[in-house]
Structure 1
Amino acid sequence: MPAKDIRQLFEISVLEKSPGVSREERPHHFELLYIQQGSGTHIVNGNSYTYEKGKLFFLTPEDKHLFKIEHLTRFVHIRFSEVSFFKLHAEAGELDYCDWMKKIGYVFHNYHAKAGCLFRDPDDEILGLALMEGIIREHINKEIGSLAIIRQSVSILINLIARNIIRTESDEKLESDSQSPVMKIIAYLQQHIYRPELLKMQAIADNFHFSVNYLGEYFKTRTGESVQEYVINYKLKLVDTRLVYSNMLLKEIAEEMNFTDESHLSRIFKKYRGTTPGQYRKMHHKL
């Protein structure tokens, strides 16, 4: 049975399923899916991945997936509510909250790792799976302090996943990509999206030892858009997520994303999305 903690930060459920083929589903929320026991095949967006005990998957509302279960499987789901993404002030200081937001945003918009292979570092994988087992234990036992322990464990787990996705992007993907310099620039822009002083052309050019003119020409030639356009589009992706999966006020979103004010954000949003933030939120709100 699923269970939400009293702050409705996330929902945890432990389910056992017998051998067979499950029906295809699309998650309603972002979720971590852990295989505590069993084996079979996980099909995500038409791609097949073998699963076994200890596998950890990350699923988004854009994914379609099903299972071909070979041996009795125990699935553990951690589904995140909109509150958990954007209102995690409980048990956390403001700096911790901001760090959580940056990491969770990076995971959402940069999840290129192969499904089930979230961890690049073996030691991180050991820690991540230990955290999952601890979360399950606290969820089942429901002892004094369990909610705080679960919340902190999930926060650490998300940070581990973000770190390993960054490693995957900056190592495997960039090394194998013939256009790795532009991918490095993109990774830089995404990682520093909350620091406008580091997104200035001179700052970027200095970091990559380019001239400002060469940086602009190089990036536009390889991506089809200017650096400024890329930054705006990436910011708007983050705004999209906050509008759909949070109750943040537009003023709060504008401040977080370093727009001058909510009117400035509304004008930019209308220009690129063809609708106002309020209308976008109404269209995409989950029923």
Structure 2
Amino acid sequence: MMNSPYKILYEKLDECPVRGKVYHFYQLVYIISGNGRQLVNDYQVPYKSGDMLVLMPLDVITFDIQQTTEFLFIRFSKHSLEQDALAMDNSLKLELLLSKVQSNRGCILRGGNDQTAVKYLTEGIVRESVNGSLYSKRLIEQYVNALILIVARNLAQAPLPEEISENSDSKIVNILQYIQNHICEPEKLKQEQIGAVFGLSTTYVSRYFKKHTAQTLQDYIAQYRLNLIENKLLYTNMRIGEIAFELGFTDESHLNHLFRKYRNLTPSEFRKKKSAAMGQKLSL
């Protein structure tokens, strides 16, 4: 598509044409038909018809195709996510949600109405891409925008398996989502504030959280912030001070202190080390 923030690619394949391919953009991959395995970095999960996969920049990707598969690839840059067509409220910042992709490899759809909606949207994208008629380009952009919002919603609703069990009550799920939604607002993450929002005493909040997650409240918040910092260090050119400001740190030194405490190196050292490793990956 010309002059579009998205690149749409339909392929019907019996085998993966390039194994271990590395891309520099985000991808939504919809499985129209067929099945096989998706190999991304160190992850290996099955795929089937109706699955929606999310791939990150610099992922190493191979599809082990077991049955002839129709793929719909939708590729876009971070810049395209920031355009006004995708303006999101503060509770649905896509860059926060993308940090969950690493722990949600495989289909990110949770079933129900979203799976049906994605099927119709992808059919519309393929149809308009083939027809190329009046307003097709604009319609495709609208369909893709809707797909990205559905992906964001499913990532937001997806609890990490290691954090909560099947028997966890709904309150702990809501607390986790509250923390994720307000991760850039430290004042809202204080123990007394979380207790007030969820009807728990200040002294009981930490015990309740650890009982259901086997992790302290402060460690969970710190690790979630660290994952966001790492994503920004890997996938953006933001300066450390800019990342600190965006994620609600009092200053750059506070971010550096937290990062060194949990990662045993500074953010700058982490970025340099990972950049070197990615450079080696790309040269293979």
Do both proteins adopt the same fold according to a TM-score greater than 0.5, normalized to the shorter chain? yes
1:97: Cα distance to partner? 5.7
Work out the CA distance in 2 between the residues paired with 1:111 and 1:269: 19
Contact 1:21 1:66 in 2 (8 A): yes
Cα distance in structure 2, aligned partners of 1:262 and 1:6: 38
Name the SS of the counterpart of 2:225 in structure 1.
Answer: helix
Aligned to 1:40: 35
2:200 aligns to what SS in structure 1? coil
Alignment of 1:115-194 (within 5 A): 115-116=106-107, 118-122=109-113, 124-137=114-127, 150-169=140-159, 176-178=166-168, 181-194=171-184
Give the TM-score, by structure 2 length.
0.74
Q: Is the 8 A contact 2:256 2:266 kept in 1?
A: yes
Q: Give the conservation status (yes or no) of the 8 Å contact 1:120–1:168.
A: no
**In structure 1, the residue corresponding to 2:265 is in which secondary structure?**
coil
Change beyond 3 A, Cα 1:77–1:265: same
Percent identity, please: 30
Computed over aligned residues only, the root mean square deviation of the Cα atoms, in angstroms, reads 3.7
Residue type matched to 1:47 in 2? Answer: V
Query: Aligned equivalents of 1:156 and 1:42: distance in 2?
Result: 27
Query: What is residue 78 of structure 1 aligned with on the other side?
Result: 74
Task: Report the number of matched residues.
Answer: 270
Structure 1: tracts of 5 or more residues without a match: none
SS of match in other structure, 2:93: helix
Distance 1:69 1:132 in 2: 22
Indicate the residue corresponding to 1:59 in structure 2: 55
Question: Structure 1: how far apart are the matches of 2:11 and 2:202?
Answer: 55
Q: Cα deviations across residues 64-109 of structure 1 (Å, max 9, x unaligned)?
A: 65333423x3322223434445xx24x458xx26659713422431
Amino acid at match of 2:274: H
Change (3 A) 1:139 1:258: farther
- Structure 1 residues 259 and 152: alpha-carbon distance in aligned structure 2, compared to 1, 3 A threshold: farther
Q: Distance in 2 between matches of 1:74 and 1:243?
A: 34
Q: Report the TM-score when normalising by structure 1.
A: 0.73
Q: For residue 96 of structure 2, what is the aligned residue in structure 1?
A: 105
Which ranges in structure 2 are unaligned for 5 or more consecutive residues? 280-284
Please tell me whether residue 211 in structure 1 is matched to residue 206 in structure 2.
Answer: no
